[in-house]
Chain A
Amino acid sequence: MTSDPRLHISGLTRRFPDAPHPVLDRLDFAVNGGEIVAVLGRSGSGKSTLFNLIAGIDAADAGSVSVGGTDLTRLSERDRTLFRRRRIGFVYQFFNLIPTLTVEENAALPLELNGDRSRGEVRRLLAAVGLADRADDFPDRLSGGEQQRVAIARALVHHPDLILADEPTGNLDAESGERAIQLLTDLTRERGASLLIATHSLAVSRLADRVLTLEAGRLTERTGALAW
């Protein structure tokens, strides 16, 4: 598996016009298939920027991002979008459910975008996240934890290779957060997908295979027992 990293990043650089230093400064790292990697960093350290670059919804100043051997930075906007649609799943800090769609419809959205109208997997996943009975409710009737679980189902429903989770617990209380992250990691492992998770929670990072720290635009890798 080491010979075929699921995600490979090299020399990735991103500057913002007003900032004196680049947010991301020549990053190099790889995530293997089935691997769960946590990215630790303070607010504003560039975690979200990194995730957006990986997702192809922001453009890098230099470097490359390749997922499953495809270099996203060399694709057109349209191809990148189509690639993302099939191969990547997202979980956001603020859930980002569509208020006018029901729970089931929200979860089914990525499948439908890929032309798949079947609902079997949607229902399975909703059952897995414990929301089978809420399928026809609208998001505004759900608690934060429940909403995030819908988002997790949505991120996994189309069997992506790579799941990006940006501070998935950042807006949840400790208990809900734990439950959500457990579901996310369990389901990811179950399906053999890779998960890159941005967090500043030690509890979350403990569930990861590896932990990377983003600081001053650079990544450092920690292995083994965590000192902090």
Chain B
Amino acid sequence: MKILLLLAWRQLVRQRLQSALTLLGIALGVAVVVAVDLANESSSRALERTLDALTGTATHHIVGPPRGFDEALYLRLRLQGVRASAPVVEGFIRIGGETWRLLGIDPLAESRFRPQVESTDEGALRRLMVEPGSVLAPPRGARHADAEGRMVAEAGGRTEVLRLAGTYRSNAGIDDLLLADIATAQTLLDRVGRLDRIDLQLSASQVEEVAAMLPPGLHVEEAEARRGHTEQLARAFQINLRAMSLLALLVGAFLVYNTVAFGVIRHRELLGTLRAVGATPHQVVMLVMGQALLMGTLGTVLGVLGGLVLGDVLLALVTRTINDLYFVLSVREVTVAPGSLLLGGGMGVAVTLLAAGIPAREAARVAPLTVQRRSHLERRTGRGALIGAVVGAPLILIGLLLPQLAERSLLAGFVALGLIMIGAGALVPLLVAGIGAIGSRVVRGVLGRRAVRGLSAGLSRSGIAVAALAIAVSATVGVTVMVDSFRVSVADWLEAILVGDVYVAPPGTVSSRVDGTLDPSVVERFRALPGVAAVRGTRRVEVMAESGPVSLLAVEAVSHTRDRFTLLAGEPESAWQAFRAGEAVFASEPLAFHRRIEPGDRIELMTDRGMREFPVAAIYRDYGSEAGVVAMGMSIYRQLWDDPDHSSLVLYAAPGVPTDTLLANARAAAAELSQTLEVRSNEAIRSVSLAIFDRTFTVTRVLRLLTVLVAAVGIFGALSAMQIERAREHALLRSLGVTPGGLFLLVGLETALLGLVAGLVAIPLGVVTAEVLIDVINRRAFGWSMDLVVPPAVPLEALTLAVGSALAAGIYPAWRMARTPPALALREE
């Protein structure tokens, strides 16, 4: 056995390039899986930590209307013995270009609520209370302070100078909160006299008691439920990432299999010799598996290390998206989750062993002499191609049917996607064989025939390589088509909703939400502006529905309003009538999907007058919030909520007034106000929105690129293995008079052919993938519907990508072949 071990090692060393490629293939596959998982895990944990910090040990919260409620309630609760209570004012400010969550608390009431945060700065709390504008920051926030401890911050459109009272440290890893005394927070966040919520620790029996003390419009909410809503939002996004990582896992696994299986196939002759000189089948298997285990372990270790680095990059992208869309969150480092490492590592080793195991068993089973006969192997593989097709076709069928069976299950969508991909992969070898068979009839030249037949003859090599490339390219096509379709739908939607000419709003601290307010006097000012035909105010707030918080959009029904809503369900005429009359509301598509609302249903909302029921007249398209929005007329909102403010204003230009003139007028008017306002044209809003959309998909794009990269490396390994195997044939061609350039072309052509086949498979598979992503995954994760748009360039792009990556992978082996003196290859047998 010692000789066998030596042999195993020497082979790996002698075939350095092949070994390195195998390692790279395994490592890349593992790295992508590990990185995506780490990024997902780290962002989840950061979200959890932040939610922990916000919730603390509270069991319930008293929450109320959008702009908070009268602070006097707190004293009433305290005097009535609800002592496990703490007032909170919460909002966002910007410091040094970064958005921070500011938590305004009463330190004296906090004791039992947020034990994870501590400060060791002497007197920090005294300063917090007696120095207005002072905050406690985590160490990384403290660096924004100057020598005197001052920090310039933007809050609600105003610039404020904050004072650093001290730093806090958190044993729970919280570092994205600023803590301030409630007096400071009320001032900074424009909440004087009001609280955003009261944290409570209540036993089950106390809940009713406390609820009974509340004025209308306020209610007691379970902390867990509130947390759940936030987590749910981010989860949909993370699930999408998970889908990408599963795709990467699939492609990675295919490629690891591919690379390792090649290595074993290439050693068949050696294995045959070993068998011939008396090695037992068991010994042969052990040799192959030992080699594979060594490579698998090494590659996996490299992959896990690479995954840690890559994870860092992905995490930054993931965090940015979460911030853009869901929740202000800062995650600065990858939390090394053992689970992620195990997942990637396990995948690497398991797939390696599986990939080596099948050919090893085969090699060990067959008689020593036949092992050396390649045609035998190819016949077996030909049978394998048939088996693959027999397995693959039903898998695809099940994949297509599954989403229909499990109607709302997101998991079923993913499983379906996986089944379709694996099924298509299993079909590829037969397809390749078929193309080979047809090609050999159609192609006239002998060399051309050789290339075409080489495809199917070398099925054991080309089949898996083509399948892997096809899957990688189809994943790319699928994601591209999905993102493009999405973007087209979003652009159409923006076109529909941006009917005004100029938009006025306080600067948002989180791009996805407007949390500033415009008071009525500001509105009057813009109404009086020259060149304004009409001003429509909108109010966007968060209110409680029976099933958790929901965004409420109140719009003034001027003549243009109607265009704003693209109704997807409901009878348009009567729906509009009811909406204008304030008799009904509209539900956005995600809301309707998540809460199973249909036109004619009723939705209960907590108003300042208590719970009220609203009939839903129609469902409208909205990509602005995946949690869902209830839209209603402004008049009914003002009746039921004591909130005279606006969130934003839409100005319509008078006939003949150019938008630019109106924009300039509006900016001039805004400049005179004490509050900073953003005045933008509809064009600017459109481009900003699309920029955010594109940013959201950066991480998707990076993953897509990685998937292709992984595939290209696998193809490279496969091709160089194939070409090295065919060295003898190529040497013969050289000796028969094929020039080096001719041989280079020939090999290039063969490679391109592989890519072409992969590309042809990838186009329909990619479109199906996109369809599943759009109609199943996105629909179920976010509740959005969109039209499938296959850009005309996509088929060409897919072919270019497939052929290009195959060619890129084939260039080196071709060059090497062309350069090798034929004498060398011919002499050996």
Contact = CB atoms under 8 A, between A and B. Distances in A.
Contacts of A86: 737
Contacts of B826: 52, 57, 92, 96
Contacts of B731: 57
A202 interface: no
Nearest to B453: A100
B453 A113 contact: no
Interface in A46-88: 48, 52, 55, 57-59, 77-78, 81-82, 84-86
B732 A98 contact: yes
A129 to B, nearest CB: 18
Interface stretch (B35-43, B326-334, B442-450, B756-764): B442-450
Interface stretch (B80-88, B270-278, B650-658, B738-746): B738-746
Contacts of A77: 739-740
Interface residues of B, number: 31
A81 B449 contact: no
A108 interface: yes
B804 to A, nearest CB: 26
Contacts of B373: 140
A55 B735 contact: yes
B734 A81 contact: yes
A113 B736 contact: yes
A96 B826 CA distance: 8
Interface string B580-597: 000000000000000000
A109 interface: yes
B491 to A, nearest CB: 51
B142 to A, nearest CB: 69
A96 B738 contact: no
A82 B739 contact: yes
Contacts of A130: none
B384 interface: no
B454 interface: yes
B387 interface: no
Contacts of A114: 737
Contact of A96 (B374, B375, B444, B728): B728
Given A94-B829, A105-B449, A112-B447, A82 B454 contact: no
Contacts of A48: 827
B200 to A, nearest CB: 79
A57 B823 contact: yes
B265 to A, nearest CB: 16
B735 A57 contact: yes
A140 to B, nearest CB: 5
Judged by DSSP, the binding face of B is helix
Contacts of B821: 57-59
B87 to A, nearest CB: 82
Nearest to A139: B375
A192 to B, nearest CB: 21
Contacts of A108: 446
B736 A85 contact: yes
Interface string B346-378: 000000000000000000000000000111000
B738 A113 contact: yes
Interface string A93-112: 01010111100010011101
Given A48-B827, A85-B737, A86-B737, A96 B732 contact: yes
A77 B738 CA distance: 11
Nearest to A51: B823
A77 to B, nearest CB: 6
Contacts of B829: 94
B739 A105 contact: no
Contacts of A100: 449-450, 453-454, 457
Contact of A82 (B445, B733, B734, B737): B737
Question: Which among A58, A82, A92, A96 has the highest number of chain B CB atoms within 10 Å?
Answer: A96
Given A94-B829, A96-B732, A105-B446, A84 B454 contact: no
B737 A78 contact: no
Contact of A110 (B375, B444, B736, B822): B736
Contacts, number: 79
A110 B739 contact: no
B98 interface: no
B729 interface: yes
Contacts of A99: 374-375, 457, 729
Judged by DSSP, the binding face of A is helix
Contact of A109 (B453, B457, B736): B736
Nearest to A141: B375
B446 A84 contact: no
A55 B823 CA distance: 10
B235 to A, nearest CB: 53
Contacts of B444: 117
A33 to B, nearest CB: 21
Nearest to A104: B446
Contacts of A109: 446-447, 736
A139 to B, nearest CB: 9
Interface in A135-170: 140, 154
A101 B735 contact: no
B636 to A, nearest CB: 78
Given A78-B741, A98-B729, A140-B375, A84 B735 contact: yes
Given A58-B823, A84-B735, A110-B737, A101 B449 contact: yes
Nearest to A53: B823
B736 A57 contact: no
A67 B731 CA distance: 22
A81 B739 contact: yes
B23 to A, nearest CB: 31
Nearest to B741: A78
A101 B741 contact: no
Contacts of B374: 99
Interface string B121-134: 00000000000000
Contacts of A81: 734, 737-740
Contact of B822 (A57, A78, A85, A113): A57
A82 B736 CA distance: 9
A114 B739 CA distance: 12
Contact of A90 (B445, B446, B454, B736): B736
Contacts of A59: 821
A98 B737 contact: no
Contacts of A90: 735-736
Contacts of B449: 100-101, 105
Contacts of B827: 48, 52
A94 to B, nearest CB: 5
B461 to A, nearest CB: 13
A13 B374 CA distance: 38
Given A58-B823, A99-B375, A100-B454, A112 B737 contact: no
A84 B737 contact: yes
A48 B733 CA distance: 18
Nearest to B732: A96
Contacts of B375: 99, 140
A28 to B, nearest CB: 22
A112 B822 contact: no
B556 to A, nearest CB: 76
B449 to A, nearest CB: 7
Interface in B417-470: 444-447, 449-450, 453-454, 457
B220 to A, nearest CB: 78
Nearest to B731: A57
18 contacts: A52-B823, A52-B826, A57-B734, A57-B826, A81-B734, A81-B737, A85-B737, A96-B728, A96-B732, A96-B826, A98-B450, A100-B453, A101-B449, A108-B446, A109-B446, A109-B447, A112-B447, A154-B736
Closest 7 pairs between A and B when the two form their complex, measured CB to CB: A85-B737, A100-B453, A58-B823, A52-B823, A140-B375, A57-B822, A81-B739
Given A77-B739, A86-B737, 8 more contacts: A52-B827, A58-B823, A82-B739, A96-B732, A98-B729, A100-B450, A105-B450, A140-B375
Interface of A: 48, 52, 55, 57-59, 77-78, 81-82, 84-86, 90, 92, 94, 96, 98-101, 105, 108-110, 112-114, 117, 140, 154
